[in-house]
Amino acid sequence: MATPPDTQDEEMAVSYSTPATSSGLLRAPTRSLLAGVYAPTPCFFDHNEEVDVDAISKHTARLARAGLAGITTQGSNGEAVHLAPYERQLVTHTTRAALDNAGFTHIPIIVGCGAQSTRESISLCREAAESGGDYVLILPPSYYKASYSHSSLLSHFRAIASASPLPVVIYNYPGAAAGIDLDSDTLLELAKHPNIVGAKLTCANVGKLARVVAGTSSSLLTPDADKDAELAPPLLHTPKTTPTPSISDLTPEPDHTTSSPAAFTVLAGSADFLLPSLSVGAAGGLVGLANITPKTCVALQRAYEANDFKRARWLQEILARSDEVVQKMGVVGTKVVLQALFKYGGHARRPLPRVGEDISNEQAMEWVRGFQEAMNVEEELR
């Protein structure tokens, strides 16, 4: 039997404003975001294009052992647009299980939940919570770009944040959103929402990043008075004065006890500007290159935190050269390199191209050679 129209409207309003847990309350995350390097992991498939849970588990554990602070599923590398809803949940569930089974129960998972409608994004946020996610990453919608107003985009993010059972991280990536580039004023306005707790900036605008960091210090940030969601637990940054492990000590777990609270965390979205971002207050980076050379990315941040700026600059130069290769080859090339170096990776789902069909073996080998310098450093850091 159809629901009466007035009841449908009432249910819609509730779904857009009430955090979706069984108790009707915002779910407090059990794992804090710590300062450090995060990786947006690929979704791996077998030869029949079925989700390869063994490869996902192997990759997740390798990254955790390398010292990463967190994992993102369904990010730009995760082929979320190629996944059915149940597959998205399977990937996040498998990632959580892999972390727990490897002894990294403290590492959080950020789940990409951006969609073209507010309603679908909210649904994805709820599914992310059910499958073991700790935070959600929201990219702006872009299909009807010409019709969006500044106000409608603000309303989109705020509605998601008010309804999501998990805290929200805004994802600013013009290249994946038809050129939509959220400016610092917009990000600072969104940061006032109590359930919007961070931002990933892949726009490579360090000036914008600096403005957002400066404008979201705990002394300046004032939550919107008219929002009904509870204030999410603080994100954590590692203070510069805290002793850090030596750069050669590559596999210790992060120190949870020496971090200081902050209201909002900003992450660089690419490894090629990680050091400049750290220098203006970023908590770290959520970077695709960490899938291939996680220890080198971690070593850069540790060098910076240890005030070893000469080493940090040297590592940044290496990562910048490797990151250029990543940006050119995309997720297909990332999988090609992982397959060549670590014996897992496989193909992306069609219609993305494949080696031997749409991509020559020579091109694939050129991609692998592009990582030789960074892999030499990665090997030395073992």
Q: For every residue of 165-214, which 3-state class applies, written as one string?
A: CCCEEEEECHHHCCCCCCCHHHHHHHCCCCCEEEEEECCCCHHHHHHHHH
pLDDT at 375: 96
Asked whether 295 and 245 are in contact (CB, 8 A), the reply is no
pLDDT at 27: 58
What is the rounded distance in angstroms from the CA atom of residue 120 to the CA atom of residue 141? 11
Query: Residues of the chain whose pLDDT is less than 50?
Result: 1-25, 219, 222-261
What is the rounded distance in angstroms from the CA atom of residue 199 to the CA atom of residue 281? 13
List, for residues 298-326, the tens digit of each pLDDT value: 999 999 999 999 999 999 999 999 999 98
Residue 200 is a catalytic residue: yes
CA dihedral 148→151→157→159, nearest 10 degrees, is -110
pLDDT at 220: 53
Which DSSP helix (H) or strand (E) runs through 171? strand 168-172
Angle at 197 between CA 193 and CA 202, to 5 degrees: 115
pLDDT at 2: 41
Q: Max Cα separation, the chain?
A: 69
- Entry pTM: 0.84
What is the rounded distance in angstroms from the CA atom of residue 135 to the CA atom of residue 167? 5
Using DSSP's 3-state secondary structure scheme, residue 237 falls into: strand
Instruction: Provide the 10 A C-beta neighbour count for residue 369.
Output: 13
Q: Which residue has the tokens 């690419």?
A: 270
pLDDT at 29: 63
Residue 121: Cβ-neighbour burial (10 angstroms; 0-12, 13-18, 19+): buried
pLDDT at 76: 85
Asked whether 173 and 288 are in contact (CB, 8 A), the reply is no
Instruction: Provide the 10 A C-beta neighbour count for residue 11.
Output: 11
Q: Which of 58, 192, 200, 343 is catalytic?
A: 200
What is the rounded distance in angstroms from the CA atom of residue 217 to the CA atom of residue 193? 14
Q: Which residue has the tokens 């091109």?
A: 363
What is the rounded distance in angstroms from the CA atom of residue 83 to the CA atom of residue 222? 38
List, for residues 128-185, the tens digit of each pLDDT value: 999 999 999 999 999 999 999 999 999 999 999 999 999 999 999 999 999 999 999 9
Strands 109-112 and 70-73: parallel
